[in-house]
Amino acid sequence: MRKIVVPTDFSDNAFNALKYACQIFKYERSDICILHAYADEVYQQDQVVKRPFLEELKEVTYAKSQKALVKILEDIREYAPNPRHKFKTISAFGTLTDEINDLVNAENMDIVVMGTRGETNDREMTFGSNTLQVLKYVQSPVLAIPENYAYHPPKELLFPTNYMVPYKRRELKLLCEMTGSFRSTIHMLYIDPLKKPSLRQEDNRLFLAECLDKARIKFEATPDKDKTVAITKYILHNDIDLLVMVNSRHSHLEHMLYQSTLDWLGLHIKIPFLVLQNLSR
C-alpha cells in the first residue's frame, strides 16, 4: 500500500500535482491524503489583533477549508476514478512543514507530492517558499510538479550522483517501484569523473544497481564541473521526464538548495523533481 501526502492551497498548481500523483501511482494500491494547513492564512489577516477575532477567523477558515476539500474530492474522483486509490482529507491549523512531518511520522507516509509553488508565491520564482521549506526539512521523499505540467509517463529519469552517499533502501524501493511500473530507464550521471572512483563509490554504485533492479540503468559521466549546467544539458539532450536528487551531506543537492540556483535550474528544465531525503524511518 502506497501512502501519499498531497498538500493543497486550492490553487490550480496544487490540483495539478494531485492529478500527477494519481497518474504516476495508478498501478499501485494507494492511500492519498489531501492536506490543507491554514495557520499562515489566519495569521496574515489584517483583522487579527485580538484573541476573540483570531478564534473566529480560525473557525471561518476551517469551514472554508473543509468545503474546498470536499470539492477537490469530487473533482479528483471524476478525473481519476481508480478503484486502487482511497482518498482522505485533513484541514489543520498549523504550518505546512510541521503538519506534513507530523503526518509522515504518525502514518508512515511514503512520499509527498506537491506543486512547485502555490497561489500566492512570487511568479518570478520557480520554487515557492513553501515548496523550498518542504524540500529542505520534510522527512520524506518529495516530488515537486512544475506549474502547468502536463502528465507524461516517467520513461526517462535522470539521477545525478557522485556515489558518495549511502542511499536508504526504503527510498530506493519507492523509486524502484515507480520506475518498474513504467519500464523506465534511469540515467545515473556521474559529474566530474576526472578522479578514479574510490572503493566506497564503487560499492555505492553496485548498491544502487541492486536496489533499482526493476528499471534499466544507464551509467553515464560528464566532464562538466558545474553541477547545474551538467544537469540542465543532460536533461535537454536526452528528453528526461523526471529529475531525481538526494538531500544529504556530500550530495549535489546540498550545494543547490538555494533559491537562486534552484530557480535557475527550474527555468530550464520544467519537469517533475523528486528529492530523496536519505533518512532512516
pLDDT per position as a tens digit, 143-184: 999 988 999 999 999 999 888 877 889 999 999 999 999 999
**Residue 267, beta-bridge partner list:** none
Question: Cα–Cα distance between 167 and 165 in angstroms, integer?
Answer: 6
Task: Output 280 or 103, whichever has higher pLDDT.
Answer: 103
Work out the pLDDT band at 260, boundaries 50, 70, 90: very low
pLDDT for 250 equals 47
pLDDT per position as a tens digit, 230-245: 888 899 899 999 999 8
Distances (CA, A) of 150 to 5, 168, 235, 254: 20, 30, 17, 28
Mean pLDDT across the stretch 112-121?
Answer: 76
Nearest one of 270, 11, 262 to 125, comparing CA atoms: 262
Question: Cα–Cα distance between 204 and 208 in angstroms, integer?
Answer: 6
Instruction: CATH 3.40.50.620 in the chain: give the residue spans.
Output: 2-145, 156-271
pLDDT for 226 equals 79
Instruction: Tell whether the model's pLDDT for residue 220 goes beyond 70.
Output: yes
Question: Cα–Cα distance between 10 and 219 in angstroms, integer?
Answer: 40
Q: Which of the four CATH numbers 3.40.718.10, 3.10.20.30, 3.40.50.620, 3.40.50.720 does domain 156-271 have?
A: 3.40.50.620
- Edge-to-edge strands, sheet with 30-37: 85-92, 30-37, 2-7, 111-115, 142-145, 273-276, 242-246, 156-161, 185-191, 216-222
Q: What percent of the chain is modeled with pLDDT above 70?
A: 84
pLDDT for 51 equals 75
Task: Output 146 or 6, whichever has higher pLDDT.
Answer: 6
Q: How far is CA 204 from the centre of its chain?
A: 23
Average confidence score pLDDT of the chain = 86
Task: Output 49 or 25, whichever has higher pLDDT.
Answer: 25
Which residue type does 144 have? A
CATH number corresponding to 2-145: 3.40.50.620
pLDDT for 230 equals 87
pTM: 0.88
